[in-house]
């Protein structure tokens, strides 16, 4: 895969507006990622200050993947993020790893149920074994669970049909 920038459109659901995060979102990102419940199963510590929030956003701006901010349509409050990273293309296979997080006040409301596949042939995910909610979500979305732990993570994969 070349290092060309891909265009990621804003997305909309019945209850959420999704748009690519940018540096003007730093305060909202700081509030969201400073919650220990949000970052518990992530590979980051709770966000300590605005500079760390800006670094999180800049990482995703510089990455070939994408990170949408999920904004409640009623309040325009940042309630989570989701996106693709570690994009890779090998022959006819176009694969990315999915990542997502959601503010605790929105857990269990059916908000994390689908999205854009961007023409990917495979979407994969790694989940900590203790993260029962994410494991349940992956299974509900049709991801196939690997039978063995790898590097202490549960691996999931979703292949596009046809």
Cα(160)–Cα(147) distance, rounded to whole angstroms? Answer: 20
Residue 110's contacts (CB-CB under 8 Å, 6 or more residues apart) are none
- The alpha carbon torsion through 74, 22, 104, 95 (nearest 10 deg) reads 110
pLDDT at 104: 92
**What's the DSSP call for residue 46?**
P
Residue 148's contacts (CB-CB under 8 Å, 6 or more residues apart) are none
Statement: residue 113 has pLDDT above 80: no
Q: Confidence band (pLDDT; 50, 70, 90) for 114?
A: low
pLDDT tens-place string over residues 56-78: 999 888 887 888 999 999 999 99
Q: Which H or E run includes 104?
A: none
Statement: residue 51 has pLDDT above 60: yes
Q: Confidence band (pLDDT; 50, 70, 90) for 4?
A: very low
Contact 102, 123 (CB under 8 A): no
Helix axes 26-33, 50-62, angle to 10 degrees: 110
Q: Mean of the pLDDT values across residues 121-132?
A: 92
């Amino acid at each position: 895969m070349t290092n060309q920038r891909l265009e990621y459109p804003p997305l909309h659901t019945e209850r959420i507006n999704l748009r690519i995060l940018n540096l003007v979102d730093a305060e909202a990102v700081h509030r969201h990622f400073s919650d220990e419940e949000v970052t518990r199963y992530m590979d980051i510590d709770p966000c300590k200050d605005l500079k760390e929030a800006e670094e999180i956003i800049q990482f995703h701006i510089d990455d070939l993947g994408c990170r949408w901010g999920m904004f409640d349509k009623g309040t325009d409050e940042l309630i989570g993020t989701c996106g693709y990273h570690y994009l890779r293309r090998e022959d006819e296979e176009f694969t990315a790893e999915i990542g997502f997080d959601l503010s605790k006040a929105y857990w269990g409301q059916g908000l994390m149920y689908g999205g854009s596949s961007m023409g990917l042939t495979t979407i994969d995910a790694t989940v900590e074994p203790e993260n029962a909610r994410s494991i349940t979500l992956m299974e509900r979305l049709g991801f196939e669970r690997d039978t063995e732990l790898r590097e202490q993570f549960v691996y999931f994969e979703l292949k596009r049909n046809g």
